[in-house]
């Protein structure tokens, strides 16, 4: 969504304000997941993560910061990579979103899989 600073303003009179809905933001994150690179430093393997951020189209040097939307406010023990979730079948749709049957590959449990119900929120 794009807004001008004043209703009667022309584009050159006032700066533009760009707003994004949470739905747009989550769609953007889904389509542009964080990139993970492996880097070797002093004979040790370190994982470096370039976190995806949404940038304002008019002020590209300002990142949109929302750690709660990135789930960065949660401990890493309860977060999983998207590739560890496998959706097997659609179960239904309700007022708050859709529900799927699926499996989760648990990395800290020797890669075993666990049956899960997965819900999406609209």
11 pLDDT band (50/70/90 cuts)?
low
pLDDT value of position 87? 84
Both 70 and 16 in a single domain? yes
Q: Are 89 and 114 contained in the same domain?
A: yes
Q: Are residues 37 and 52 in the same domain?
A: yes
42 and 100, same domain (yes or no)? no
The pLDDT assigned to 94 comes to 81
Domain extent, residue 39, equals 1-78
CATH number at residue 120: 3.30.200.20
pLDDT tens per residue, range 27-85: 776 666 555 444 444 433 333 344 455 556 566 666 666 666 666 677 777 777 778 88
Q: What's the number of domains the chain is made of?
A: 2
Over residues 97-108, mean pLDDT: 80
Work out the mean pLDDT of the chain and round it to a whole number.
Answer: 65
End-to-end CA distance of the chain: 19
Structure confidence at residue 49 (pLDDT)? 41
Query: Do residues 92 and 111 share a domain?
Result: yes
pLDDT at 57: 59
Quote the CA–CA distance of 84 and 82 in Å, as a whole number: 5
Instruction: Tell whether 88 and 71 lie within a shared domain.
Output: no
Question: How many whole angstroms from its chain centre is CA 3?
Answer: 25
């Amino acid at each position: 969504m794009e807004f001008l600073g004043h209703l009667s303003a022309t584009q050159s009179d006032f700066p533009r304000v760009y707003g994004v809905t949470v739905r747009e933001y989550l769609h953007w994150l889904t389509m542009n997941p964080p990139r993970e690179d492996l880097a070797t430093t002093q004979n040790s393997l370190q994982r470096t993560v370039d976190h995806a951020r949404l940038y304002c189209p008019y002020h590209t040097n300002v990142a949109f910061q929302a750690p709660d939307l990135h789930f960065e406010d949660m401990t890493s023990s309860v977060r999983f990579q998207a590739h560890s979730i496998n959706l097997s079948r659609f179960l239904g749709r309700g007022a708050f979103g859709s529900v799927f049957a699926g499996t989760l590959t648990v990395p800290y449990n020797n890669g075993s899989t666990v049956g899960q119900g997965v819900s999406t929120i609209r």
